Amino acid sequence: MKNALQCPSLFRAYEKHFRVGAAINGRMPADPAYRELICRHFNSITADNQMKPMFVMDRDATLARGDLSHAAVSFRSVDSLLSFANENGIAVRYHTLAWHNQTPRWFFAKDWSDAENAEPASRDVMLARLENYILDVMNHVNTCFPGLVYTWDVVNEAIEPDQGGPGLYRTRSPWYRTCGEDFLPAAFRAARKGQAPGQTLCYNDYNAFQPVKRDAILALLKKLQAENLVDTMGMQGHYVMDWMNVSLCEEAARAYAALGLKLQVTELDIHCNSDDEEHRLKLAQLYGDYFAMLKKLSAEGIGIEAVTFWGVTDADSWLTGFRRETSYPLLFTRDKQAKDAYDAVMKAAE
C-alpha cells in the first residue's frame, strides 16, 4: 500500500466527469495531515455534522428573541468549515436544511419547550419557522462566502424507508407530523428564494437504488418538478458489501436523470467488517465497477455534479458506530494508506 499523501489525486482523475468530495468533521481542518489529504484528493467537501440544524439552531438566543415563528441561529460551526474551504479553494455542498434527525426537538414545540411531550407548534407556525430558518442560513452563507456553496440538500430522507410500509412519506418525522407533506414544497420554495445563481437544490435520500423506494422518490420528485422546485437528486450511497448491486444503482440513476434532473452521489461508503485480502479485493471490485458505471453515465451526457465519500479514511467513518462493528468502507486506511479500492477507482478513470 502507498501513502495516500503521495498518491495521484482522486479529483484530478475525474475532473472531466464530476467533482470528487468528502464529508469532513470539525477536527480535520486543524490537523495538518488531514488538511493535506483533503486538498490533494477532493475538490468538494461537506460537513458530516457541522451544518445540521442541531449545530445551527440556538435555543437560548431563540428564547431571548421572543418570536415564536423565528428561531435564532448561530453559525460558528458552519463558518469554520466554510473558512477552511474558502482558504483552500474547495467547493462546498451544504448538508442539510430540513431533516427529521439531528434537529432539536424544541424547534417543533409550540413554545420552544424542550420537554419530551411538549405540545407541537401548529402547521402554519412550523411552515413559517421552516422558511425563516432556510432563508437565514442561505442568506448568511451566500453573503459571507459568495460563490463557495454549489448545492444545497434542501430536504433529507423524507420518504418512508420501510419497504413493507403503506405510504410514500416518512410519517413519523416531526416535519410530517406538524405539516404533512406540505413541508417538502415549502422547504424548496424557501430555498428557491434564498439560492444564489448557479446553486442547485437537491433532494437527498438513502437506499435510493431500491426499486420500491426509488419509485416513491420518483413520484415525489415529479411533484416538486411540477413547480420547478428541484434540480438534483442526491443518492446517498450508503452500501453494504454483501448486498451492493451496481446494476440497480445504474437503473435508479438513469430513472432520476430521465426526469431531467442532475445527479449526485452524496454519502458514499461500502460497509465491510474486515480488511483481510478477500474483503479488500471485493471492496476494490465494487468501487471500481461503481465508478466505471458513473463515468459511463457522465460520458453519455448525464449530468453528475459530484460524488462525495462519507468520510476521508476508515478512521472517520460513522459506520463503525452505526453498525456496531469495525468498518473498513472507504478508500484510505486508518493510517492514511491508499487501499486496493483507491487503485480500482483510479483505474476506472483511465
Catalytic residue check, 267: yes
Supply the minimum distance, in Å, between the C-beta of residue 48 and ligand XIL. 4
Supply the minimum distance, in Å, between the C-beta of residue 203 and ligand XIL. 12
Q: Does 55 bind ligand XIL (CB under 6 A)?
A: no
Total residues at the site for ligand XIL (CB under 6 A)? 7
Q: Does 267 bind ligand XIL (CB under 6 A)?
A: yes
Supply the minimum distance, in Å, between the C-beta of residue 73 and ligand XIL. 18
- The three-state DSSP-derived secondary structure of the chain is CEECCCCCCHHHHCCCCCEEEEEECCCHHHCHHHHHHHHHHCCEEEECCCCCHHHHECHHHHHHHCCCCCCCECCHHHHHHHHHHHHHCCEEEECCCECCCCCCHHHHECCCCCCCCCCECCHHHHHHHHHHHHHHHHHHHHHHCCCCEEEEEEEECCECCCCCCCCCECCCCHHHHHHHHHHHHHHHHHHHHHCCCCCEEEEEECCCCCHHHHHHHHHHHHHHHHCCCCCEEEECCEEECCCCCHHHHHHHHHHHHHCCCEEEEEEEEEECCCCCHHHHHHHHHHHHHHHHHHHHHHHCCCCEEEEEECCCCHHHCCHHHHCCCCCCCCCECCCCEECHHHHHHHHHHC
Q: Does 77 bind ligand XIL (CB under 6 A)?
A: no
- Catalytic option among 157, 160, 325, 350: 157
Footprint of ligand XIL on residues 8-47 (CB under 6 A)? none
Footprint of ligand XIL on residues 139-158 (CB under 6 A)? 156
Catalytic residue check, 157: yes
Question: Judged by CB under 6 A, which of 318, 328, 332, 342 binds ligand XIL?
Answer: 318
Question: Judged by CB under 6 A, which of 9, 49, 274, 326 binds ligand XIL?
Answer: 49
Footprint of ligand XIL on residues 186-225 (CB under 6 A)? 206
Q: Cβ closer to ligand XIL: 24 or 346?
A: 24
Q: Does 48 bind ligand XIL (CB under 6 A)?
A: yes
Task: Give contact residues for ligand XIL (rule: CB under 6 A).
Answer: 48-49, 156, 206, 236, 267, 318
Q: Annotated active-site positions, please?
A: 157, 267
